[in-house]
A = this chain, B = another copy of it.
Amino acid sequence: MNLTTATLLISCPDQRGLVAKIANFIYANGGNIIHADHHTDFTSGLFLTRIEWQLDGFNLPRELIGPAFHAIAQPLAASWQLHFSDAVPRLAIWVSRQDHCLFDLIWRQRSGELQAEISLIISNHPDLKELADRFEIDYYYLPVTHENKLAQEARELELLQTYKIDLVVLAKYMQVLSPHFVQQFSHVINIHHSFLPAFPGANPYQRAYERGVKIIGATAHYVTVDLDEGPIIEQDVVRVNHRDTVADLIRKGKDLERVVLARAVRLHLQNRVLVYGNRTVVFG
């Protein structure tokens, strides 16, 4: 028996009959829905949905599902994505000197929690090569300066193509990507070490300390050309108190950062995130 599923992520202008039309498409072809979650955003007048069904017993072969659904989607002015659960996306993880997010992603990938391959690690520092070696992952040390930034980004884009990368994960990369890069490769998730929109930019823990906040946070978001302004996928927080120094905030923050980033990557890999405007729907 084939346990593979297909998932449709759909967004279109709201109108009567959408749930019925989409469900009928699957039912008429013999599909068994195992997850269906709909959301109507009344402010923007958008209907957004995620439907997942078993391929076992489905009458359409894989390669015909897209074209068949296209006939339904077009009159609804719907944009949609189709994914299959047996895909194994290829990740590039970009790091700087801190290893906590990388370590965590490696563990989750090995344990099967992230269905993906970690094909490539890119860093502007040599420090984490030792860790990459321990787990036999290719590591590229590409130091970035003001002068060589565009050249290095060109090299990086080349690597993404060579390794057929589906998703870049900025796991505390600490460098801003150029607008050019983001336009060339748009599947990038970043972890920012603050509760956005508080403390965007540099040194958020230092600034949180100075402001005397009682809670710190971390934010995972898709990268856009505006720094720290992309659609938020996941956030979480932890309580701090007057005894916590900046070093304590950094330490406590690491536990947040790695888990918030990992949740965001997992939700993305499971095709549970739909971006509209600068917001996301996260289908639970």
- Give the B-binding residues of A (Cβ under 8 A): 16-21, 23-24, 26-28, 30-43, 99-100, 103-104, 107, 110-111, 113, 134-135, 195-199, 210-215, 217, 231-237, 241-243, 245, 251, 255, 259, 277-282, 284
A215 to chain B, nearest CB (A): 5
Contact of A23 among B19, B104, B110 (CB under 8 A): B19
CB neighbours of A30 from chain B (8 A):
16
Contact of A232 among B41, B211, B217, B259 (CB under 8 A): B211
CA distance A241 to B272 in the complex (A): 13
A195 to chain B, nearest CB (A): 6
Contact of A214 among B110, B113, B232 (CB under 8 A): B232
Closest-by-CB residue of B relative to A40 is B34
Asked if A212 and B36 make an inter-chain contact with CB atoms under 8 angstroms apart, the answer reads no
Asked if A243 and B17 make an inter-chain contact with CB atoms under 8 angstroms apart, the answer reads no
A100 to chain B, nearest CB (A): 7
Query: With A213-B235, A242-B279 as given contacts, are A26 and B37 in contact (CB-CB < 8 Å)?
Result: no
CB neighbours of A134 from chain B (8 A):
134-135
CB neighbours of A195 from chain B (8 A):
195, 198, 215
Contact of A100 among B42, B111, B198, B211 (CB under 8 A): B111
CA distance A63 to B259 in the complex (A): 44
Query: With A20-B23, A31-B16, A255-B259 as given contacts, are A282 and B241 in contact (CB-CB < 8 Å)?
Result: yes
CA distance A107 to B103 in the complex (A): 7
CA distance A103 to B195 in the complex (A): 27
CA distance A24 to B134 in the complex (A): 52
Asked if A37 and B40 make an inter-chain contact with CB atoms under 8 angstroms apart, the answer reads no
CB neighbours of A212 from chain B (8 A):
231-232, 277-280
A-B contacts, 22 listed (Cβ < 8 Å): A16-B30, A16-B32, A17-B27, A18-B33, A19-B36, A20-B24, A34-B40, A35-B38, A35-B40, A39-B243, A99-B111, A103-B103, A134-B134, A134-B135, A197-B213, A211-B232, A212-B277, A214-B233, A237-B237, A241-B282, A242-B282, A243-B284
A68 to chain B, nearest CB (A): 16
